[in-house]
Amino acid sequence: MKKNEYAEYLFHQGSNYTSYDYFGAHRTEDGIVFRVWAPSADAVYLTGDFCSWDTSLPMIKNDDGGIWSVLLSASDFGDCSRYKYIIERDGVFRYKSDPHAFYSETLSNTASLFFDIEGYRWSDGNYIAERSGNAAFLHNDIMLPKPINIYEVHLGSWKKSFDGNYLTYSEYAEQLSKYVKEMGYTHIELMPIAEHPFDGSWGYQVCGYYAPTSRYGNPHEFMYFVDKMHSEGIGVILDWVPAHFPKDAHGLYEFDGSPLYEYQGRDRMENRTWGTRCFDVGRTQVQSFLISNALFWFEKYHIDGLRIDAVASMLYLDYDKEPGEWNPNSDGSNINIQAVDFFKKLNSAVDKYFPECLMIAEESTSYADITNKRGLGFGYKWNMGWMNDTLDYLATDPYFRSSKHSKLTFSLMYAFKENYILPISHDEVVHGKRSLLDKVHGDYNQKFGTIRTYLAYMMTHPGKKLLFMGSEYGQFREWDEWGELEWFMLDYQMHSKLRDYVKALNHFYRDTPALWENDCSWDGFAWIYADSSDDNIFAYKRIDKLSRQVIILLNFSARHYEHYPVPVSSGGWYRTLLNSDDDIFGGNNNGPNKAIRAKKNTNNTYEISVDIPPLSAVIISKDIKK
């Protein structure tokens, strides 16, 4: 058992970005070597089934930095053997899971499981090579000139087996890849799959940061899941949680008998609402642990991106705190400077080693420069303001929407200041917030008409897209992590046709460069009508790099506009590309003719007269074939 002084030095300096290759359990020529960081422990023991969970195998303390190690014979310890560390301090013995374990038990069982993750034979070389083209854009803070349309998934409740149990990673791979490809999504985003003991946390209270949850299979089976997605051209984004961790006894909580991974000061130690401990991202060893973990998913599992959860909770010292519960900086400010430095360091490491991968911030405030190198260095940011404004508009009676017209136009005031993703996520369809369809004002048919119009607005608005599972067919009931989606709703015609519409809209988005080539500037967007509040009409153009245009007309009123004048840039024929009121999508089959001829006005301008049905979206382009 050899000590690697350089690896340990880098770990303590906060720059060992492959700590997973040194810590944890690893097979060597001499046996299985175990290493764990526990600087305040009086003694540490390796325990497990091999010794009846006693303290007969003490570990050796390598240095003053608190790294402990031991070598165990491979004859006593094989694949999926169960183990933990016993941390002794002040006469108290704490049984802890391995922070760097690659595989773990879950739910009521909490042991780490030995698993050699090497040896999987990947078949996604062509996909990875094609993905490398992202690097030049992301390195220069440029929105990718390609479609990104994300389907957010909670694996355990997307589908279950006939007996109500979870499917396996392999089963999800086959079924989900087929569904996502058919629907026209470019990526899936998995809610956290790192090992977590409680289903009701949705994965956001992690105990095993290096272990894909064993609920659905082993690490190689999760590799197959990613590999299968890549074989179908689908990217995989993981929800990643560096802000906090739960207080489960076997986890990171006071790991060596004192605050170790968490902040020591009471003003920063806990997130009161979530009942969790906050990572001390100013501590260099914690930086090594977390940044290694981010790179681990890219390196070992070929993941395409991370969505970083709860960034705002890390950035602000007063997040979820009352006056007197937090200490300001010396200048009185409330920004957590350590968190700012951590994010810069994290994103710099990803940019260096995996520059083609996406780093996405879930950040809900107006903190500036989230998505550029002079700021935090993320590739994308969720546009939470857009989400809140537009959902408020949806819930409003069309008769009163004129007073909230700016809810749908205000986002263009800042749309190009960051690289945005427009999210309708799991957080918006739980805890009494109602499902996306049920949020919409109106009767049954009006809800469907409005949601079709809204989704067209979302897909044609600048920025990349994310939609939570179930929203694509209009599940009425809120999301429930304990069951599966209500797929039986597809037996009802309106829900089935809504899914057909979302499928058509997704493919239209992917096939129309004007909707994604110029997402990051006014070169790709121009208002036609921004202020038609009395009509509840929104009209704008999206423009590609060859100056080709599509015209988007949205009617959020219950009125039918049979001859709505729309100025266009030239004469000739125009054609309808998509009409959300088409009966194949559940509409009333009203709307414009397929071909519309522009008329010339006396001032040498041109316009078309368009039939815009109630609660509908109409998308039109110049017909170059005429």
- Of all residues in the chain, what percent carry a pLDDT higher than 70? 99
The DSSP bridge partners found for residue 152 are 189, 468
pLDDT tens digits for 349-408? 999 999 999 999 999 999 999 999 999 999 999 999 999 999 999 999 999 999 999 999
Distances (CA, A) of 80 to 105, 116, 168, 217, 219: 10, 9, 17, 12, 11
Measure the CA dihedral 386/389/392/398, to 10°.
-100
* pLDDT tens-digit series, residues 590-616: 998 889 999 999 898 999 999 999 999
- How many Cβ atoms from other residues are within 10 Å of residue 367's Cβ? 18
Instruction: Name 555's bridge partners.
Output: 537, 616
Backbone φ and ψ of 331, nearest 5°? -90, 5
The confidence score (pLDDT) of residue 1 equals 61
What ranges in 65-215 are assigned the alpha helix state H?
125-131, 135-139, 155-158, 169-183
Strand segments, DSSP code E, in 81-170 are: 82-89, 92-96, 112-113, 149-153
* Structure-block tokens of residue 540: 């704008």
Lowest-confidence pick of 59-63, 117-121, 546-550:
59-63
Quote the pLDDT of residue 68.
98
Q: Residues 270, 273, 274, 279: what is their CA dihedral angle, to the nearest 10 degrees? A: -20
Contacts of 21 (CB under 8 A, 6+ apart): 7
User: Which residue, chain included where needed, has tokens 């060596």?
Assistant: 256
Contact 72, 121 (CB under 8 A): no
d(CA 108, CA 338): 35
Three-class SS string for 400-468? HHHHHCHHHHHHHHCCCCCCEEEEECHHHHCCCCCCHHHHCCCCHHHHHHHHHHHHHHHHHCCCEEEEE
pLDDT one-digit tens code per residue, 104-120? 999 889 999 999 999 99
Within 8 A by CB and 6+ apart from 436, the residues are 424, 428, 429, 451, 468, 471, 474
Question: What phi, psi does 527 have (nearest 5°)?
Answer: -70, 140
> pLDDT of 126-148, one tens digit each?
999 999 999 999 999 999 999 99
Spatial separation of the C-alpha atoms in residues 404 and 396, rounded to whole Å: 8
Neighbour-count burial for 231-240, b at 16+ CB within 10 Å, e otherwise? eeebbbbbbb
Cα separation, 176 vs 303, whole angstroms: 16
Task: Name the strand (E) or helix (H) holding 298.
Answer: helix 284-301
- With a cut of 80, say whether residue 626 has pLDDT above it: no
Supply the angle between the helices 384-394 and 444-460 in degrees, to the nearest 10. Answer: 150
Res 570: pLDDT: 94
pLDDT on residue 347: 98
Reported as a single tens digit per residue, the pLDDT across 203-220 is: 999 999 999 999 999 999
Alpha-carbon gap, residue 48 to 85, rounded angstroms: 8
Q: Using alpha carbons, select from 47, 50, 28 the residue that is nearest to residue 36.
A: 47
Q: In the predicted model, what is the mean pLDDT of residues 62-74?
A: 92
For 495-532, write each residue's pLDDT tens digit.
999 999 999 999 999 999 999 999 999 999 999 999 99
- What is the topology classification, in CATH, of domain 5-113? Immunoglobulin-like (2.60.40)
Q: Supply the DSSP symbol for 502.
A: H
Beta bridge partners of 525: 542
Q: Give me the residues paired with residue 25 across strands.
A: 34
| Amino acid at residue number 586 | G
Residue 75 confidence class, pLDDT cut points 50, 70, 90: confident
Q: Which helix (H) or strand (E) element contains residue 537?
A: strand 537-543
Instruction: Please say if 309 is a catalytic residue.
Output: yes
Cβ(307)–Cβ(360) under 8 Å? Answer: yes
Name which of 519, 467, 419 is nearest 149 in CA terms: 467
Q: Which residue out of 88, 256, 309, 389 is catalytically annotated? A: 309
One-letter identity of residue 39? P
- Do the Cβ atoms of 230 and 223 come closer than 8 Å? no
CA–CA dist 560, 592 (Å, integer): 12
Judged by DSSP in three states, 619 sits in strand
Asked whether 533 and 405 are in contact (CB, 8 A), the reply is: yes
- Of 21, 211, 43, residue with least CA distance to 114: 211
The token pair that represents 445 in the structure block: 């048919």
- The pLDDT of residue 76: 81
Contacts of 92 (CB under 8 A, 6+ apart): 257
CB 105 within 8 A of CB 111: yes
Residue 2 has pLDDT above 80, yes or no: no
Looking at residues 429-451, what average pLDDT do you find? 96
Query: What mean pLDDT, rounded, does the chain reach?
Result: 96
Q: Stretch 274-296: mean pLDDT, rounded?
A: 98
d(CA 280, CA 282): 5
What is the tens place of the pLDDT at every residue in 183-196?
A: 999 999 999 999 99
Distance, in Å, from the CA atom of 168 to the CA atom of 217, rounded to the nearest integer, reads: 6
Could you read off the pLDDT of 460-489 as tens digits, one per residue?
999 999 999 999 999 999 999 999 999 999
Two domains, one topology: 5-113 and 522-622: yes
Of the candidates 189, 362, 389, 544, the residue annotated as catalytic is 362
**Residue 103: predicted pLDDT:** 98
Q: What is the CA radius of gyration of the chain?
A: 27
Taking the domains of the chain in order of start, what are their residue ranges? 5-113, 522-622
Q: 420 near 516, Cβ under 8 Å?
A: no
pTM to 2 decimal places: 0.97
| Residue range 398-421, pLDDT digits in tens | 999 999 999 999 999 999 999 999
Task: Reduce the DSSP state of residue 543 to 3 states and report it.
Answer: strand
Q: How far from 446 is each of 65, 76, 160, 394, CA to CA, in Å?
A: 64, 66, 32, 11
Q: Does residue 16 contact residue 288 with C-beta atoms inside 8 Å?
A: yes
Topology of 522-622 in CATH? Immunoglobulin-like (2.60.40)
Is 362 annotated as catalytic? Answer: yes
Closest CA to 83 of 29, 127, 44, 117: 44
